[in-house]
Amino acid sequence: MKRAFKTMAAELHLLQTTRARAIAVTAGLISLMNVTCGEGLLQTYGVLIPVLLISTATDLSKRVIPNWLMCSAFAGVILLSGVASLSGRLPGLPAFPESLRGAGAAGGLMLLCSRGRIGGGDVKLAGVIGATLGPLPAFQILMKTCVFALVFMVQRMLFARLRDFGTRSEGSPETSHVETPMAGFFLLATLASIPGAD
C-alpha cells in the first residue's frame, strides 16, 4: 500500500493542476494518518480532511464553499454514522444520534455567533465537522478556529496600521471590511485537534 501511495504521489507531481495537488496532499495525509493514528482515526479524519482541503482551496480562490461539497459530505457522514451505529464496524465515527447532535450543535453555534457576518458555507462546514466528530470535539475545533482567525485578523490589522502610519489624517475612516476565508482556519484547527498531533 505504501508503494501505491509513493507511485501515485510521483505521478501527481508531474501534473500542474490544483485538483491534482489537492489529491496528492490528501493521499499523503491519509497515508501518514494510516501509519501514525490507527484505524478509527483514519476513518474519521480520512473523511473530514479531504473535505476541508477542497473547502479551503475554493474558499481561498473564489470565497465560496460549494454546496455540492457540503451536501455530499454531510450525507456521506450521516450515512457512515448510521452504518457504524447498526454494524459497529466503523470505529472512530460517532453513532447516528451523536452525529446529528454534533451537526446541530456546531452548525447552530456557528449560525448564532455569526450574526450574518459569516457565510453560509462556513456554517455548513461547521455542521459537517460536528456530524463527523460529535458535539464536544466539534466545539473544541470551533474554539481553536476562532483563536486562529482572531490571531490572523489582529496581525493583519496591525500590519495595515503600520503600513498606513502617518499617511492618514486623524479623522479619516478605518480601512474597509475585508472578507476572511474561514475554511483554512477550520483546517488548521482540525489538524491541531487530531489526537497525538500535540
pTM: 0.73
* Tens digit of each residue's pLDDT (9 = 90 or more) over 81-92: 887 778 766 667
Question: How many Cα atoms occupy the beta-carbon half-sphere of 149 within 13 Å?
Answer: 18
Could you give the CA distance from residue 103 to residue 117 in angstroms, rounded to a whole number?
A: 20
Q: Give the SS3 label for residue 109.
A: helix
The domain segmentation of the chain, as residue ranges, is 37-193
pLDDT in tens, 38-80: 555 666 777 788 889 889 988 888 888 988 888 888 988 888 8
Task: Region of 166 please: left (phi>0), alpha (psi -120 to 50) or beta.
Answer: left
First to last CA, the chain: 27
Q: What is the pLDDT of residues 119-151, one digit of tens each?
A: 888 999 999 999 999 999 999 999 999 999 999
